[in-house]
Amino acid sequence: AQTVTQSQPEMSVQEAETVTLSCTYDTSENNYYLFWYKQPPSRQMILVIRQEAYKQQNATENRFSVNFQKAAKSFSLKISDSQLGDTAMYFCAFMTMEYGNKLVFGAGTILRVKS
């Protein structure tokens, strides 16, 4: 069974600075997808970034980028130029390519951006 571990329950960062959230996962599959979802206080789950395991190039979406290390089974999220609106719970998730394409989530990291 796949597992996802987020080892940082809470983090804080000053506005305009850079922060990195950690995520490791365990799987025996070779093809899969990885995601970072953001959950602000509104509770809505918002996709931040996705990475296909077969792609060596790290995904980037504006201020958000990932460091995908397939051999180490590591998938960290870097947020540059942090903004107050980035304050949220961040979930790392693994999607299996097996029947149903199910998501397995980590426990989440609460990120607080301070002014």
Partner 1 sequence: NAGVTQTPKFQVLKTGQSMTLQCAQDMNHNSMYWYRQDPGMGLRLIYYSASEGTTDKGEVPNGYNVSRLNKREFSLRLESAAPSQTSVYFCASSDFFGGGVNEQFFGPGTRLTVL
CA distances for 110 relative to 10, 66, 79, 98, angstroms: 5, 18, 13, 30
Considering only residues 33, 58, 76, 87, which one is a binding residue for partner 1 as defined by CB under 8 A? 33
Instruction: Decide: is 84 part of the binding site for partner 1 (CB under 8 A).
Output: no
* Shortest Å distance, C-beta 82 to partner 1: 23
> Nearer Cβ to partner 1, position 10 or 15?
10
Instruction: Decide: is 52 part of the binding site for partner 1 (CB under 8 A).
Output: yes
Instruction: Decide: is 102 part of the binding site for partner 1 (CB under 8 A).
Output: yes
CB 4 within 8 A of CB 21: no
Instruction: Decide: is 70 part of the binding site for partner 1 (CB under 8 A).
Output: no
